């Protein structure tokens, strides 16, 4: 795939997004904290289910420092019903680290983000690109399927080498 083809596809995709993007509460103010909370909540959970949790969570826990200071029992109550409680515990652990080491701010560097509990390759790419405007990919299963289709790659997407090849395309 040539650079011109990739660039053309990127512009078409951005145009489509501009016309079709859903209105979501974390998009109206994509601060690093809001993007981080939304990305963690959206893991293994449908968007429609996350919206009321996100709004309630941000109303009560509007900053990293507030999250770091939040008692665990209150955190679990706010998270109740979303499942995967390790996500909430990792949020709190990461908030404590951010408060102690980063003055309550999320770092813009993808590698520094990935060093925090609960932030893997996809959320770090999403946070870096959405909140900080960095040219970083956020590659999940959906993105891998799209990349495989547009490149004609019929290899198994569970294969590590295939995933790596497609992820490398997303960086271009």
Specify the residue for token string 């290899």.
155
**In terms of C-beta density within 10 A (0-12 exposed, 13-18 middle, 19 or more buried), how is residue 77 classed?**
exposed
Question: Rounded CA gap, 160 and 88, in Å?
Answer: 28
Write down the catalytic residue from 39, 48, 136, 165: 39
Q: How far apart are CA 109 and CA 112, in angstroms?
A: 5
Cβ atoms of 97 and 107 closer than 8 Å: no
165 is catalytic: no
The C-alpha atoms of residue 72 and residue 66 are separated, in whole angstroms, by 12
Q: CA-to-CA distance for 121 and 139, rounded, in angstroms?
A: 8
Which residues are catalytic, by number? 39
């Amino acid at each position: 795939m040539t650079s011109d083809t990739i660039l053309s596809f990127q512009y078409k995709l951005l145009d489509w997004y501009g016309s079709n993007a859903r209105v979501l509460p974390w998009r109206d103010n994509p601060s690093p904290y809001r993007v981080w909370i939304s990305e963690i909540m959206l893991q293994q959970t449908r968007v429609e289910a996350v919206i009321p949790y996100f709004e309630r969570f941000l109303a009560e826990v509007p900053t990293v420092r507030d999250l770091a200071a939040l008692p665990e029992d209150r955190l679990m109550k706010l998270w109740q019903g979303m499942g995967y409680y390790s996500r909430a515990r990792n949020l709190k652990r990461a908030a404590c680290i951010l408060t102690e080491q980063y003055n309550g701010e999320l770092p813009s560097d993808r590698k520094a983000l990935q060093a925090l509990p609960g932030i893997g390759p996809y959320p770090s790419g999403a946070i870096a690109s959405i909140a900080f405007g960095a040219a970083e990919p956020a590659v999940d299963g959906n993105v891998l399927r799209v990349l495989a289709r547009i490149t004609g790659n019929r290899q198994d997407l569970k294969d590590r080498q295939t995933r790596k090849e497609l992820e490398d395309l997303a960086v271009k």
